[in-house]
Amino acid sequence: MVITVTLNPAADRTVEINNFEIGSVNRIVSERTDAGGKGINVSKTIRSLNGKTKALGIAGGRTGLYITQYLDETGIENEFVKISGESRTNLKIVDNIRKTITDINEPGPLITGEDVERFENILFKHIDKGSIFVFSGSVPGSIDRGIYGKWIRRLKKEGIRTILDADGDLLKYGIVQGPYLCKPNVRELETLVGRRIESPAEAGFLGKKILKENGIEVMVISLGEKGALFINRNDTFYASALEVEVKSTVGAGDAMVAALAYCIDMGYSMDEMIRLSMASGTAAVMSAGTKAPSYELIKGLADKITYRKL
C-alpha cells in the first residue's frame, strides 16, 4: 500500500477565463473544485491506477471537512488530524486563449507542535514492511523544514521505502536522509546544487552524484516539456515528452509520483516505471483542474512513450 502525506492540503478551485487581464473585470467561463495538495493528488492517481493507497494529513475548518468528504466520496481511504484553523483554498486561473495558467495559493493554517505530535502518532502506526510512504508538497510556515527528513530517517531504520517530492529546505534536509526515490524537477535541482543546469546530460550527471552520495536507489528528474531522467545505481535513461493539448499543468508531477509509487509497490521493472509514470504525467496535463487522469487515458499513452539510455 502507498501511504501519502499531505500536511498542507487545499481545496483547489480552477476557473477558466478567456483573455485574463490583471486590473480588469474578468468573467469565468467554467469552474471546478477538487480536493488537492500534492499527497492527495498522488492518492487520487493511484486510485485511478487501481492501486492501494491511504491519504494521511492535517486539515481543519469547513475546507478541511470538504477535503475529507471528497476523499470519502471518491473511495480513497484517509485519516486526518483535525485542527481549529482553516485549511487553505488555492485558485488556478486557466486562460485557454493566451495559453497561461496562474496559481494563487494560500499559505495554510497555523500548525502547533501538539498537532504534529498527533499526526506522528497516526503516521507511525502505519509502519508496515510492505508500505511505501510518499512525502510531498509544502508544509505550513509553522512546521520545521527538516520534518520530512526526520520521518524518512526513522522509516528507513524500520526498512520502509520512502519517496520524497519537495522543494527548498524540505528537499535539502530530506534528501540527505536517503529516501528510496527522490523526484525533483530541474529547477528544484538547480536550487539544490546552487547553479544553472544547461542540459539533460548535466542533470543526469548531478542526479547520479546525489544518488550515490545519499544512498538513494532511484532519482527521477522532471525536465518539463523536455521529458524526464530516470536514474538508478547502474543506468540513466532519458524519456521524451509527448506533444499533447495542455489543459492544466497542476498535478502533473504528482501523477508521475503516483505512478512511480504504484510501480514500486507492484514490483514493476524500470521499463514499466518509465512508461507508466511518463504516461501518467502526460495524462494529467490533458485533464482539467487537479482531476486525476483516467486509467484508460494513462494506459493508452504508455505505449507511446519512448526513451533511451544515456
The torsion angles phi and psi of 81, rounded to 5 degrees, stand at -75, 130
- Quick check: 284 and 69 in contact, CB under 8 A? no
Catalytic machinery residues: 254
- Quick check: 206 and 193 in contact, CB under 8 A? yes
How far, in Å, CA of 225 to CA of 292, rounded?
A: 20
- Write b or e for each residue in 186-220: b if 16 or more Cβ atoms lie within 10 A of its Cβ, otherwise e: bebbeebeeeebeebeebbebbbebbeeeebebbb
SS3 132: strand
How far, in Å, CA of 175 to CA of 189, rounded?
A: 11
How far, in Å, CA of 238 to CA of 148, rounded?
A: 28
Residue 122's H or E segment, with its range, is helix 113-124
Torsion over CA of 215, 216, 217 and 221, rounded to 10 degrees?
-150
Residue 114's H or E segment, with its range, is helix 113-124
The DSSP call for residue 196 is -
Please compute, for residue 9, the number of CA atoms within 13 A of its CA located in the half-sphere on the CB side.
Answer: 36
